[in-house]
Amino acid sequence: MLLHVLKYKFICLIRDKAIIFWAFMFPVILAVLFHIVLININPQEEFMKVEFSVVDNDGYRQDIRFKNYVNSIIESYENNSQSIYNISIRSLEESEQLLEDNKIDGYVKIEDELKLIVKRSGTEQSLIKALLDEYIQINSTMETILSNNPSALENIDLLTNNFIEDVPLSESDNTDFSIMIYYSLIAMSCLYASFWGLRIITLSQADLSSIGARMGLIPQKKLHILAIDFFVSWIIQLGIITFQLIFMSTVLNVELLKPIGLVFLTTAVGSAMAISLGSFIGAVIKKDEDTQVTIINSVIGIGYVITVSQINEILESKLPFLACINPIKLVNDGLLSLYYFDNYAILARNVVLMSSLTFFFSAITYLTVRRVKYASI
């Protein structure tokens, strides 16, 4: 009996083209598209260098802090191939000439205040300005702290090259971005398991489908069949995610997060949450299947957009509860915490949250479908 139901459930699920497409192919296709886009962006940024000079005048020589700052950047450029700022110290005439000949993107001059001279405005010029703004901001922070408490910064010099290395400005930013995209796709893929859950409920309820009516007549406990259905869907979903991870790491060269066991834990709990969410929607929202599918698609679509866009930050500050039950974000942040942080606090919190939601959805589903006779079919 058990094997019989397992076997046919498996066959049914893997032949369900619509669900396979959404759960399996759709995230893969998106990942490939992102990959193509990212490949086209990356080479440009890798070769981007910003060159500018600092005018060697009295103003510069007397401003020790700025001098330190500039030196630390020069140093970092010499030691680190990833640094994009190439700074030289030159006389005013030289700087003007180089700018005229387009050899540099601009030059910086200190007379009463910091001045940036450029010939045109563009990405390079903005990057120089960004660097200077950062200096000005840190400088004024230090001024404030020092004026309040002159001894506070004795041992700390904010303007060393540590600062530059800790906050790399270009390449690694990009890596973050692509890792984020790929793993948000994995999170989305988990959530597509909702459709498995919806299907399971629809096919087991006499008031939702004709097959449900037939299943209502068999001499077996309905909950046994449901439990088997859930289990098979979950296993298939884990298979799909495993394939997607392998595909991303081998074909698209996406860095696999470590430890891989925790990646599996997160996606496994996330998939269970998704299946129970789908069954919850199927059991509680007594509408036609199209409506239910639309609801699930909206949850996934909106959840995804919120997760990868800045809406999330707004939501987190205004409606923290909503932000923390966005199912895609739960999976997504659990995964990304493996990338950003060494401790597993966020992951643990999200796994607990997802498990609780799974329990909540399953319990409501159980209470709803436990009933065996219907008021209306």
Ligand X SMILES: Nc1ncnc2c1ncn2[C@@H]1O[C@H](COP(=O)(O)OP(=O)(O)O)[C@@H](O)[C@H]1O
Residue 218 binding partner per list ligand X, other proteins, none, with a CB distance cut-off of 5 to 8 Å that depends on partner kind: other proteins
Of 113, 217, 318, 321, the one binding other proteins (CB under 8 A) is 217
In single-letter form, the type of residue at position 377 comes to I
d(CA 254, CA 247): 9
**Of the ranges 7-15, 116-124, 170-178, 299-307, which one interacts with other proteins (CB under 8 A)?**
7-15
Determine the interface stretch with other proteins among 6-14, 135-143, 189-197, 327-335 (rule: CB under 8 A): 6-14
Alpha-carbon separation of residue 92 from 36, 42, 116, 142 (angstroms): 45, 35, 12, 29
Question: Which residues, in sequence order, are CB contacts of 41 under 8 Å at separation 6+?
Answer: 174
Q: Cβ-count burial of 298 within 10 angstroms (0-12 exposed, 13-18 middle, 19+ buried)?
A: exposed
- Residue 115: enclosing H or E segment and its boundaries? strand 114-117
Q: Which does 251 bind (CB under 5 to 8 A by kind): ligand X, other proteins, none?
A: none
Residue 172: exposure state from Cβ atoms within 10 A (0-12, 13-18, ≥19): exposed
Tell me which residues in 131-150 interact with other proteins (CB under 8 A): none
Binding site for ligand X (CB under 6 A): 376-377
Q: How far apart, in Å, are the Cα atoms of 279 and each of 12, 167, 207, 285, 303?
A: 17, 45, 15, 10, 18
Instruction: Give the pairing type, strands 106-110 and 114-117.
Output: antiparallel
Q: Which residues pair with 117 in a beta bridge?
A: 107
Among 43, 150, 219, 261, binds other proteins (CB under 8 A): 219
Binding mask 334-373 for other proteins (x = CB under 8 A): --------------------------------------xx
Q: Which of 132, 179, 180, 216 binds other proteins (CB under 8 A)?
A: 216
DSSP assignment, residue 15?
T
> Alpha-carbon distance 118 to 272, whole Å?
57
- Binding partner selected for residue 120 from ligand X, other proteins, none, CB under the kind-specific 5 to 8 Å limit: none
Q: Tell me the per-residue interface mask from 14 to 33 with other proteins, x by CB under 8 A, - otherwise.
A: -xx-----------------
Footprint of other proteins on 177-206 (CB under 8 A): 206
Nearer to other proteins, 10 or 360 (CB): 10
> Residue count at the site for other proteins (CB under 8 A)?
26
Residue 297: name its binding partner from ligand X, other proteins, none (Cβ under 5 to 8 Å by kind): none
210 contact, one of ligand X, other proteins, none, CB 5-8 Å limit per kind: other proteins
Residue 374 CB, nearest approach to other proteins (Å)? 6
- Pick from 29, 152, 211, 363 the residue near other proteins by CB under 8 A: 211
Name residue, tokens 């699920």.
Answer: 13
- Give the span between the Cα atoms of 254 and 182, in whole angstroms: 8
Please identify, using beta-carbon distances, which residue of 59 and 216 lies nearer to other proteins: 216
Contact 364, 279 (CB under 8 A): no
Residue 286 CB, nearest approach to ligand X (Å):
12
Q: Which residues bind other proteins (CB under 8 A)?
A: 1, 4-5, 8, 11-13, 15-16, 206, 209-211, 213-214, 216-220, 372-377
